[in-house]
Amino acid sequence: MDDTLRARWERLRERVDDACRAAGRDPGEVTVLPVSKTFGPDLIREAVGLGLHRFGENKVQEIRDKSEALAECAIDWVMIGHLQTNKAGVVARLATELQSLDRPKLAAALDRHLRTENRVLDVLVQVKTSHEPSKYGLDPAQLLRFLDELAGYPTLRVRGLMTLAINTSDPDTVRGCFRRLRQLRDDAAARGHDLPRLSMGMSGDFPLAIAEGATEVRIGTAIFGARPYPDSHYWP
Ligand X SMILES: *Cc1c(COP(=O)(O)O)cnc(C)c1O
Q: How far is CA 219 from CA 6, 54, 113, 116, in A?
A: 14, 12, 29, 33
Stretch that binds ligand X, among 24-32, 45-53, 140-148, 200-208 (CB under 6 A): 200-208
Sole binder of ligand X in the list 12, 47, 58, 87 (CB under 6 A): 58
197 in Cβ contact with 124 (< 8 Å):
yes
Q: Which helix (H) or strand (E) holds 123?
A: strand 121-126
DSSP three-state, residue 99: strand
Q: Could you say whether residue 80 binds ligand X (CB under 6 A)?
A: yes
Sole binder of ligand X in the list 9, 16, 37, 159 (CB under 6 A): 37
CB of 113 to ligand X, least distance (A): 22
Does residue 221 come out as left (phi exceeding 0), alpha (psi in the -120 to 50 range) or beta?
alpha
Nearest to 166 by CA among 152, 153, 156, 179: 179
Q: Could you say whether residue 35 binds ligand X (CB under 6 A)?
A: yes
CB of 81 to ligand X, least distance (A): 6
Number of residues that bind ligand X (CB under 6 A): 15
Stretch that binds ligand X, among 14-22, 39-47, 66-74, 217-225 (CB under 6 A): 217-225
Find the residue with minimal CB distance to ligand X.
Answer: 220
Kindly tell me which of 160 and 220 has the beta carbon lying closer to ligand X.
Answer: 220
Nearest to 218 by CA among 91, 102, 124, 110: 124
Q: Could you say whether residue 204 binds ligand X (CB under 6 A)?
A: yes
Give the single-character DSSP code of 175.
H
The residue ranges that bind ligand X (CB under 6 A) are 35, 37, 58, 80-81, 164, 202-204, 218-222, 234
